[in-house]
């Protein structure tokens, strides 16, 4: 190698060493900016985690409500099927509504016996907590 090339390499190496030594002494704008970016990213990550947790809680609550609604719909369907399967009741106007496992029967029946029979059938369906029998008997009661 020529002396001029060695001299250039030595100068470049010296500048690199001095530059690295200066970086160790005081943080420059790049290091400060890097720390700020890291802190911002960490804060954003925490905020995202909190938002995800809150969203998860809301979805769980909504899922529970949906599950209850599906259960009520299923109960209503089963009560209607039981009433429709009963020969003495299938031709009568009996409406069924279910809210949180409480079945409400409305409409009219032709006898007190059929009113009681509809209530018994509804009460026998799995998931029914209570039966509110608001059926009106054309023959009384």
* All structural domains of the chain with their residue ranges: 3-137
Using one digit for the tens of pLDDT, what is the confidence trace for 17-53?
656 565 555 566 767 777 777 777 676 666 666 766 7
User: The domain 3-137: what is its CATH number?
Assistant: 3.30.1340.30
Mean per-residue pLDDT of the chain: 78
User: What is the model's pLDDT at position 36?
Assistant: 74
- CB 138 within 8 Å of CB 110: yes
Ranges of residues in the chain whose predicted pLDDT is under 50: none
Q: 53-56, long-range: CB within 8 Å, 24+ apart, which pairs?
A: none
User: What is the model's pLDDT at position 107?
Assistant: 92
pTM: 0.52
- Helix or strand (DSSP H, E) at 93: strand 93-99
């Amino acid at each position: 190698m020529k002396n001029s090339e060695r001299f250039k390499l030595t100068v470049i190496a010296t500048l690199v060493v001095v530059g690295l030594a200066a970086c160790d002494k005081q943080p420059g704008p790049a290091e400060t900016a890097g720390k700020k970016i890291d802190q911002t990213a960490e804060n954003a990550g925490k905020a995202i985690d909190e938002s995800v947790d809150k969203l998860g809680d809301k979805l769980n609550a909504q899922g529970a409500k949906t599950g209850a609604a599906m259960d009520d719909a299923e109960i209503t369907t089963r009560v209607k099927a039981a009433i429709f399967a009963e020969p003495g009741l299938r031709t009568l106007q009996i409406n069924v509504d279910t809210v949180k496992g409480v079945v409400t029967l409305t409409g009219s029946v032709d006898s007190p016996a059929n009113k009681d029979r509809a209530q018994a059938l509804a009460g026998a369906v799995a998931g029914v907590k209570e039966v509110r029998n608001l059926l009106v008997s054309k023959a009384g009661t």
